[in-house]
Amino acid sequence: MTDPQQPAADDPCDHDQGRERVKFIGKELDREYTRRDAINTRSAVSITSATALVTISLDVIAVIRGDHYTVGFAAWKVWLLGAAQVCLLTAAIFGVLAGATASRFRIASTNDMTRMLNAELWGYHRIDARKETAKLNIKAIRTLRAGNTAKFRFLVLALFTQALGVLLLGA
């Protein structure tokens, strides 16, 4: 049996209804923005390190194969070095794709926000307004997560191919 002193969950007198849920949804949206920024930063670092490794290894090739230096260089070493170069360049490409992957990220459109100000929604109770804004945040979270997942997959590929390239350089 319910306490007559406490308003029911769907009673418009309960002005805090849904507040915790909306706060949680807002935090999730902030987490996805933070995740996207972290992935973009890590992809930039991946590009920088892969291109630096390519440059360094090309410098090593220039020194080893230069006109003034003659060092015996077995064919398998050339293949290892070539494979390392390909891996590092591929890692740089995956890093670029991780940073540049365009997701279908959707935020509240101006039409959605204008609709909130129209007579249709303006008279809504606070609880209904919270629900409406939470719906728009969920839409943004859904699209952000899809885009962040695609970016993260490219980042993992970049790091994997970069590690493989470094392993081949070490060999």
pLDDT digits (tens, 9 = 90+) for 16-26: 777 788 888 88
Question: How far apart are the C-alpha atoms of 105 and 146, rounded to whole Å?
Answer: 8
Mean pLDDT, the chain, integer: 77
Question: How far apart are the C-alpha atoms of 111 and 132, rounded to whole Å?
Answer: 13
Helices (H) and strands (E) in the chain — how many of each?
Answer: 5, 0
Q: Is pLDDT above 80 for 70?
A: no
Tell which wins on pLDDT, 58 or 93: 93
Lowest-confidence range among 31-35, 51-55, 100-104, 127-131? Answer: 100-104
The pLDDT of residue 82 is 81
The pLDDT of residue 95 is 86
**Mean pLDDT over residues 54-82, rounded?**
69
Tell which wins on pLDDT, 7 or 138: 138
Cα dihedral sign, 90-96-99-101: negative
